[in-house]
Structure 1
Amino acid sequence: MSRSASRYEPWEDDEPTLSELSGVRYLHFGTEWVQGAMRVRKPDELVLAYTKQMMAWLLFQAPDDTQTLGMLGLGAGSLLRFALKHTPAQLVTVEWNPNVTAMCHAYFKLPSHARSRIVHEDAGEWVMHPENTGLCSALMVDLYDATAQGPVRDSLAFYQGCRQTLAPGGIMTVNLFGEHESFPRNMTNIGEAFSGRVLALPEVDAGNRIVLAFRDAWPDIEDNALLDRAQALEAASKLPAMRWARHVLAQLG
């Protein structure tokens, strides 16, 4: 989980802790808020509904081994483990707190893999680096700290930086809180950064709302082709992709 040095105390205050219930291990920062989860016997499975929705960009892309997927915030490593199993892409994860990475290696079966690179840096700074311009075909943004009171990076400049890191045709997914006061602000800033090309999926879990933002244009895909792709994705990965596709088509009209 990454965080903003300008808005919060240093990461040493967010010591990762864990709990376990019914075969699921949870990552916390010393509070009841869940930062991530892993089914111990099936570590590559996405347990939380919102983490499944974070992969909704797969409705529009099928990454190959020449492409890079970006993740801002490691959490319990769920998205990283899933992406390693289900895509051949290169992976870069930006995580502010090295203690989270150590916890994931020790207790959340985070693999050391040739296709995976973890960068310990403020995500808000990482997206501004010129060398990261156009790096990612998809970018998954999940930036919360112990208080879980909205994302710790949510400015217009940050989302403009996220768009800058996307390759042509790239897609960003962001984890927001639908019932939180931060939601309208985030939606406004994402909309401005991405010229209004924004879709919100249905609210899940404890208020999580996943938003998709498209770098260049709305996806150019026929309705039936999108449904066919969703059906294949659901069969291959067990993600509820048909539900997403119907929701996307309803929003696009």
Structure 2
Amino acid sequence: MDEPTLSEEGGVRYLHFGTEWVQGAMRLRAPAELVLAYTQQMMAWLLFLEPTRKEEVGILGLGAGALTRFVLKYTQALTVTVEWNPAVTAACRMYFRLPAPARSRVEHCDAAEWVADGRNAGRCKALMVDLYDGLAQGPVRDSVQFYQDCHRALSDVGVMTVNLFGNHASFPRNVANIRTAFGNRVLQLPEIDEGNRVVLAFKGPALDVTVAQLLLRAQDVEARYRLPAVRWARALLAQRGRIMSLSV
């Protein structure tokens, strides 16, 4: 298993897995802030869903706990985070203010086994997939079967977001596999400077979303969560012919 290491610069603490690749970050004076642009994009499912206090958001890959901290602070949802390496969880508890388990559960196992487990079928309203090792050479779980199991882990109406590298050989394979698993109901956000590209995949009844509806929702998300949601919405509207999304 990769051993977690730390670095700090400009008031931000970073998590690494023994290499220079950043696996997560936390601003020391604002722990719930999403420092890395791709982690902000991973929350783009908020354009389509608003989880209740009884619903669960799933996170595959703990990293520095940024997504877990954000969801717990800014939504009512419960979280379940699946992390392969207990040392990462220990580092998060010691150095990255991983929240107490009142609304947050960490389960230590292989993410592919977790989503394949029938006990987790229909469990998550939203599912965020960020599975990289220390080499960061594409996701470590990316088969059609894996994404089909992710689809099954979503509730009847749900959204998955996946962190991919746009300029990498793994990107077209992952997008193709996600399209197969989710019946081609897939949208992409623009690649950011670091090379990350977040893909959204949808499960549930297909509905037409008007420009006005999506932009109004984006304005609400931007105001409430301080995320660049209007920019995301405009990028998704450029793919309007592909939008078969969910009621907000």
Tell me whether the two structures share a fold, i.e. TM-score over 0.5: yes
- The C-alpha deviation readout for 1:181-236, integer Å capped at 9, x for no partner, is 00010011000000100011000142100000001344543221111111111011
1:18 aligns with 2:25: no
* Structure 2 counterpart of 1:109: 97
TM (normalized to structure 1)?
Answer: 0.93
Whole-angstrom CA distance in 2 between matches of 1:182 and 1:217: 30
Contact 1:73 1:141 in 2 (8 A): yes
Moved more, 218-227 or 93-102: 218-227
* Structure 2 counterpart of 1:182: 170
The structural deviation recorded for 1:104 is 0.5
Whole-angstrom CA distance in 2 between matches of 1:230 and 1:103: 34
Aligned length: 241
* Structure 2 counterpart of 1:251: 239
In the TM superposition, 1:1-253 aligns within 5 A as: 11=1, 14-253=2-241
Moved more, 243-252 or 156-165: 243-252
Whole-angstrom CA distance in 1 between matches of 2:103 and 2:67: 14
Whole-angstrom CA distance in 1 between matches of 2:71 and 2:208: 24
Quick one: which amino acid aligns to residue 215 of structure 1?
K
The structural deviation recorded for 1:161 is 0.4
Whole-angstrom CA distance in 2 between matches of 1:210 and 1:83: 18
In structure 2, the gaps of 5 or more residues are 242-248
The structural deviation recorded for 1:169 is 1.4
- The C-alpha deviation readout for 1:92-123, integer Å capped at 9, x for no partner, is 00000000000001001111131110000000
Whole-angstrom CA distance in 1 between matches of 2:204 and 2:122: 12
Contact 1:48 1:205 in 2 (8 A): no
Quick one: which amino acid aligns to residue 249 of structure 1?
L
* Identity in percent: 65
The structural deviation recorded for 1:66 is 1.5
Contact 1:197 1:217 in 2 (8 A): no
